[in-house]
Structure 1
Amino acid sequence: MPRASAADAAETARRILETATAHFAEHGYASCSVDDLARAAGVTRGAVYHHYASKPGLFAAVATRQQESVAEAIVAATRDSTPQAALREGSHAYLDGITGRTAARVLLIDGPSVLGWEEWRRLDAEGPERELRSGLREAGAPPALLDALTAALSGAMNELALWLAVRPDDAEARRQAHGALDALLDTAVSRS
């Protein structure tokens, strides 16, 4: 039997990842089996294991892609902005990006328990948290408080995202969350 080309293999891996992303977002990690994911992707169970080694490995790939997507939204929202505007625009882009149904479920609900706390924190530190720290520094946050402010704002934004995740169609809740975020940001950089 001929081996699949590199392009075919990449397409299979992509299809598995997209299918897993949709299933994890819709049903949660615990409710998805590798057999279900393989069947939905139109591949064998062996193909899933070949590309991702395990169900937790597949979830880690999904979570990594979701973190990258949120970080990309932050960067796109802050391009060509002043430091103060970039901090605000990037923080709002984070809140909007992570409250999409997929990102919230994968990153905030299932992520810490499936990935483990240390891995979950590493993913956040390499993506959105890195952008937040940079934004705070450039906007003039006090250097002595930079680590604490980053942790506090990151935690607050994650809590706002979880609060919004259970209110997906509530425009007033979204307005309130963005207003609360503005108030937090104003306080964070007003001490400089």
Structure 2
Amino acid sequence: MQPRRTNPERAEATRAALLEAARALFVEKGYAKTSTPEIVEAAKVTRGALYHHFADKPDLFRAVLEREAQAVADEIEAAASPGPAPRAAVIAGSLAYLDAMSVPGRTRLLLVDGPAVLGPSEIASIDEAHAARSLREGLEAALGPKPRAFSIPAMTALLSAAFDRAALAIEAGSDPAAFRSAMISLVERVVPPA
């Protein structure tokens, strides 16, 4: 006999089921063509359960994107620590970003549908809390406090855009090795050896 789950455990299981079902449908059909009745049916929960956990479909979509962005940041941080020298950590984190974005559906969610549904500023905020934060912190550690010809926040934004373009190109069928090599070359120019 299985032990009975507590209310918080049941609530977390329901939320997780909604996020998983929504992610699968958003990847398969896109945000616009996915309905909330389809999501609750796939999650095997009631419509009331959906609205208990999320205000509306955009709120659920935002939660899916937050979870995806956190997964990307976790992979970057795992690759970049512990131990490598700051420059090596930035390079390892860069490659980890491209690997993390190769998870099926992730590029579409974060780089195509996300900006279209939530708008560029909200996506930028999500990115800043996750992958862009990791990149900025890596650049700060690798470049140190010495004077430089550019600001770290500006360079973070530019490199983030380059990483996103690389992920989109790879998703569209371009050679991943060529983009990985180009991204390493770009990062090495920004972060010279100590």
User: Which has a greater percent of helix?
Assistant: 1
Aligned to 1:161: 167
Aligned to 1:27: 29
Letter in 2 for 1:48: L
1:174 corresponds, among 170, 176, 181, to 176
TM-score (norm 1): 0.90
Number of corresponding residues: 185
Shift of 1:147: 2.1
Aligned to 2:140: 137
Structure 1 runs of 4+ aligned residues shifted over 3 Å read: 141-144
Alignment of 1:54 with 2:56, yes or no, is: yes
Could you say what secondary structure the match of 2:105 adopts?
helix
Structure-to-structure mapping, 1:36-55, within 5 angstroms: 36-55=38-57
Aligned to 1:183: 185
Structure 2: gaps (5+ residues): 1-5
Structure 1: gaps (5+ residues): none
1:85 corresponds, among 88, 93, 111, to 88
Could you say what secondary structure the match of 2:32 adopts?
coil
Tell me if the contact between 2:87 and 2:193 (Cα under 8 Å) persists in the aligned partners: no
- String of CA shifts for 1:95-118, please: whole Å, max 9, x gaps: 110232232111001011211221
Aligned to 2:8: 6
**Which whole-Å CA distance do the structure 1 matches of 2:135 and 2:74 have between them?**
13
TM-score (norm 2): 0.89
Letter in 1 for 2:25: H
Shift of 1:144: 4.7
Could you say what secondary structure the match of 1:101 adopts?
coil
**Which whole-Å CA distance do the structure 2 matches of 1:119 and 1:144 have between them?**
29
Task: Among all aligned residue pairs of Structure 1 and Structure 2, give the percentage whose two residues are the same amino acid.
Answer: 40
Tell me if the contact between 2:69 and 2:130 (Cα under 8 Å) persists in the aligned partners: yes
Letter in 2 for 1:180: A
**Which whole-Å CA distance do the structure 2 matches of 1:144 and 1:101 have between them?**
38
**Which whole-Å CA distance do the structure 2 matches of 1:62 and 1:143 have between them?**
38
Aligned to 2:153: 147
Could you say what secondary structure the match of 1:100 adopts?
coil
- String of CA shifts for 1:23-68, please: whole Å, max 9, x gaps: 1122211110001111111112221111111000000000000010
Tell me if the contact between 1:64 and 1:123 (Cα under 8 Å) persists in the aligned partners: yes
